Amino acid sequence: MKITEIAFTVYPVSDIKRAREFYEEKLGLEVYEEVDYEKEGGPAGKYWIEYEVNGSIFAISNNLELSEQNGVAFEVEDYEEAVATLKHAGVTFVTDRIDSPVCCLTLIADPDGNLITIHKRKT
């Protein structure tokens, strides 16, 4: 398995408007990509907001539990090979494959239960 980069870091937020005001107005981050889940057939009022910071992505979302999926996402060269390698190594999988319009991912846990996203952009 080859990790090629950190795909993104995400923080779950309870109030998307308040969080956006903080990150955009106080920290000066500019939106790189915004997903309105309702437009994708998901729940209303839920968003995934990405900010590009010198080639890396920092994201916030109010569509995650506050303890869910906060942390790092590793971009892998070959998603299927990475999953097979991790399963063979006995790594704990928290989710099965999750597909979105732009990527596929799965969540694993480290020995302390910290979540790590294994991520592959669709090209």
CA–CA separation, 6 vs 81, rounded Å? 18
pLDDT tens for the chain, 123 residues long, are 899 998 888 888 889 999 999 899 988 899 999 999 999 888 999 999 999 988 889 899 998 765 555 678 899 999 999 999 999 999 999 999 999 888 999 998 877 677 889 999 998
Q: Determine whether domain 3-121 maps to CATH 3.90.1140.10.
A: no
Neighbour count for residue 67 (Cβ, 10 Å): 9
CA–CA separation, 9 vs 71, rounded Å? 5
Confidence (pLDDT) at 116: 85
Neighbour count for residue 116 (Cβ, 10 Å): 18
Domain spans of the chain, in order of start = 3-121
Among residues 97, 74, 71, the alpha carbon closest in space to that of 84 is found at: 97
Among residues 23, 4, 25, the alpha carbon closest in space to that of 13 is found at: 23
